[in-house]
Amino acid sequence: MERIVDLTHEIETSMPIYPGDPSVEIKSWNTHEKNGCQISKILMGSHTGTHVDAPWHFNPQGASLDNLSLSRFVGKGTLIDVSNKGTNEKIDTKDIAAYRSYISSGEFVVFMTGWDRHYRERMYFKHPFLTETAAKMLVDMGVSLVGIDTLSVDSTMDKTFSVHSVLMNAEILIVENLCNLKEVPFVKGMYSFLPLKVKKGDGSPVRAIFFDSPVD
């Protein structure tokens, strides 16, 4: 029997968002009492909560969500434990090198900082982040998707986007705002980050999961 671990934050009004992104608002449109059914109106940005970035997010020539195969969002991944990192601390090549033997071209790499414990605190915006050198290493390794349990792969405090640019220009997908990675039982296993099928989508919330099925 497969074990499924939910890696997704709930979408709700007043949830944490990247500075400058649209705020989230969920309101009743129809109700059981007035209309006989419940329908909600949801206003949010395309990069709300646990979400995937399509290459088009930072690369004008990059693929949008509707031009990507479903196989890009489901696959084998390696979980890299960097939970020893502190406030605005760099995740660099040496952190990746320790897991080099697990990572194969075309697969996913997921970074566990443990920063989801600060999700509703101001500290959440002061998360660890990848260096540009680390991003280039992942490109050279041929990974197809990079995930992390922080607001961004770049430093939110420093307001930089160099890591996004390096990965997006290489057509590598990015998944941000993951959670519960400490519940993932294996260094390597299967992940799913399926997005909404948004026409010309630059990004989309996902229901991120780990499911432990046999991995060669």
20 occurs within a structural domain: no
In this predicted structure, what is the pLDDT of residue 133?
A: 98
- pLDDT tens profile 20-39: 999 999 999 999 999 999 99
Is residue 19 in some structural domain? no
* CA dist 68 → 19, 71, 74, 107, 148 (Å): 28, 8, 12, 15, 21
- 153 pLDDT higher than 60: yes
Range of the domain at 145: 4-8+47-211
pLDDT at residue 69, as a whole number? 96
pLDDT tens across 37-69, in order?
999 999 999 999 999 999 999 999 999 999 999
For residue 190 the two structure tokens come to 């299967």
Give the count of domains, the chain. Answer: 1
Look at residue 169 and tell me if it is in a domain: yes
Backbone angles phi, psi at 215, to 5 degrees: -125, 130
What are 159-204's pLDDT values in tens digits? 999 999 999 999 999 999 999 999 999 999 999 999 999 999 999 9
- Residue pair 144/106 in contact (Cβ under 8 Å)? The answer is yes
Q: Which pair of structure tokens corresponds to residue 73? A: 């969002």
DSSP single-letter state for residue 116: G
pLDDT at 92 over 90: yes
The yes-or-no verdict on residue 216 having pLDDT over 60 is no
In a domain? residue 79 = yes
Residue 175: φ, ψ to 5°: -120, 125
Quick one: pLDDT band at residue 73, thresholds 50, 70, 90? very high
- The CATH number for 96's domain is 3.50.30.50
Of all residues in the chain, the percent with pLDDT exceeding 90 is 95
